Amino acid sequence: MSSRTLPLLFINLGGEMLYILDQRLRAQNIPVDKAKKAEWIEEDRRRVMNDIITTMFNKKFLEELFKPQELYSKKALRTVFDRLAHASIMRLNQASMDKLYDLMTMAFKYQVLLCPRPKDILLVSFNHMDAIKDFVRDTPSILNQVDETYRQLIEIYTPLSAGEFQLIRQTLLIFFQDMHIRVSIFLKDKVQNSNGRFVLPTSGPVPCGTQVPGLIRQFSCTGEELKRLQFCNGGNYSSALREGSFEMFGERVIKLGTNMYSVSRPVETHMSGTSKNSAQHTKVNTAPNPLAKEELNLLAKLMGGMEMQRPANADSGFRVNLFSTDEEEEQALISRPQEFSYDVINIQATKDKQANAELAKIMGEFGATGDAAPSASSKGDDLLAMMDGL
């Protein structure tokens, strides 16, 4: 497992989240109650995008994110994105948040699978970063935050070897291996099967630095070419494209990681049979995670550094629906397996205020309800107890 995977996972999933929210905010119908207060205008969409990107690229948050560390659980990561999606006046109910996270994860999984070389994962990340910069091009202060992250990505990842990038790719695929959610865009483009698994192409350009397969050359011990044999490669491959730019500015060449929602079309998600079966297996395994304490300590630091943009008036928030109708959204919530849904986290306060200051801050910002329960347990026991809420 690579200890350099988390920043790439977060930035690419965050980029996909911004693509989806931008598309839905542009297509969102104005509810009756919202129309009475103030007409939906372009400025509202920009405000939502700016608030989320500001939170996503918060300096303290990124300082913790870029530290070498293991990936933590899917639920912990989902919690971070749930919080990030609600960093502005926009609100999503559980069914829409589930769908948003499904689209994010399946899109990036597809991109990781189709990367010609492991190193091209960095180009995919740069495509997401380029699009994020475009979202905030008129806001210099936020643009500076994004540029600083760009510099960190270049400084940390461009010196890595091909083997280190292969380890990052393997770590990402292990993280995504049990996710087989069908997405309408992928199904219509015939890049995903009905069981939720992706179809890998046997055509197109070969990876940069390689040749089209189909030729075997035999050499003597002195390096002299003795014979050439040709064979059918079973595909329709073409010569490699030029390598994309790994600098802050430049053409990436690779299209993976660009906005596939730029052309408006409905996007649906469905749980495949494979995913439901894997959910049942996951439910059986209820053994405590031995790394729970370390994981939650990290999560507290990460989330404690994210500055939330809360509206002064709670009524000023508006709800975004990722489904065509409210009825469809309600039906999705009912039919979704419980193992793939994530409830609101309730974090219990403790007497050890100094040790749990960051967790207490998170509790307050989540708006958790319930009285604080006094406890004489140690800090480690408190963290392990809270793992039940994740």
> Which band of pLDDT confidence, cut at 50, 70 and 90, is reported for residue 288?
very low
- The confidence band for 331, taking pLDDT boundaries of 50, 70 and 90, is low
Question: Which position has the higher pLDDT, 240 or 311?
Answer: 240
> For position 299, what pLDDT does the model report?
59
What is the pLDDT confidence band of residue 85, given thresholds at 50, 70 and 90? confident
Contact predicate 200/110, CB 8 Å: no
How much is the average pLDDT of 291-296? 55
Residue 310: how many other CB atoms lie within 10 Å:
15
Q: What is the pLDDT of residue 150?
A: 94
Higher pLDDT, 265 or 6: 6
Per-residue pLDDT at 178: 87
DSSP β-bridge partners for residue 269: 183
Residues 346-369 have a mean pLDDT of 49
Average pLDDT over residues 76-84: 89
- The pLDDT, as a whole number, for residue 90 is 82
pLDDT in the model for residue 75: 87
Mean pLDDT of 200-222: 91
Identify the band that residue 115 occupies on the pLDDT scale cut at 50, 70 and 90.
Answer: very high
Taking the CB of residue 272, how many other CB atoms lie within 10 A of it? 18
**b/e string for 116-130 if b means 16 or more Cβ within 10 A?**
bbbbbbbbbbbbbbb
Predicted local confidence at residue 266, as pLDDT: 53
Place of tokens 């542009």: 26
Give the per-residue pLDDT at 118: 95
